[in-house]
Amino acid sequence: MNGASTTIRVRPGAALRGAVRVPGDKSLSHRALILGALAEGASHARGWLPAGDTLATLGCVRALGIAVEQEDATTLTVHGRGLGGLRAPTAPLDCGHAGTAMRLLVGVLAGQPFASTLDGSAQLRRRPMRRITGPLRQMGAQIADTDGRAPLHFRPAALRGMAHTLPVASAQVKSGLLLAGLFADGPTTVTEPGPARDHTERMLRAMGAGVTTDGFSATLTPGPALRPLDLTVPGDLSSAAFVLAAALLVGGGEVRVNSVGVNPTRTGLLDILAAMGGPVTGERERLEGGEPVADLLVRRADLRGTEVGGDLIVRAIDEFPALMVLATQAAGETVVRDAAELRVKETDRIAVMAGELRKLGAQIDERPDGFRIVGPQRLRGAVVQGHDDHRVAMALTVAGLVADGETVIEDAACAHDSFPGFVETMQALGAEMDWCDHD
Ligand code: S3P
Structural domains of the chain sorted by starting position, each given as residue range(s) with its CATH number in brackets? 7-24+234-436 (3.65.10.10), 26-231 (3.65.10.10)
Question: How far is 45 from 29, CA to CA, in rounded Å?
Answer: 8
User: Cα of 99 to ligand 1 centre, how many Å?
Assistant: 8
Degrees to nearest 5, angle at CA 247 with 378 and 241 = 100
Question: For a pocket test of ligand 1, which of 28, 31, 197 has the largest count of ligand atoms closer than 8 A to its C-beta?
Answer: 197
Residue type, 292: P
- Give nearest CA residue, ligand 1 atom 11: 27
Position 290 scores a pLDDT of: 87
Q: Spell out the alpha helix ranges (H) of 280-418.
A: 311-315, 320-329, 349-359, 390-402
Residue 318 annotated among the catalytic residues of the structure: yes
Does the C-beta of 116 come closer than 6 Å to ligand 1? no
pTM exceeding the 0.85 threshold for the entire prediction: yes
Q: What is the pLDDT of residue 173?
A: 98
Q: What is the 318 CA–ligand 1 centroid distance (Å)? A: 8
Residue 1, pLDDT score: 45
Closest ligand 1 atom to Cα of 318: 9
Instruction: Give the per-residue pLDDT at 2.
Output: 44
**Using CA atoms, how far apart are residues 392 and 388, in angstroms rounded to an integer?**
8
**The ligand 1 atom nearest the CA atom of 170:** 14
Mean pLDDT by 10 residues, the chain (439 residues): 76 97 98 98 98 98 98 98 98 98 98 98 98 98 97 98 98 98 98 98 97 98 96 98 98 97 98 98 94 98 98 98 98 98 98 98 98 98 98 98 98 96 98 84
Task: State the pLDDT at residue 4.
Answer: 59
pLDDT at residue 289, rounded to an integer: 82
- Pairwise CA distance, residues 70 & 68, whole Å: 6
100: Cβ below 6 Å to ligand 1? yes
Ligand 1 pocket, residue 267 CB under 6 Å: no
CA distance 268 to 270: 5
318, 388, 389, 417: which is the annotated catalytic residue? Answer: 318
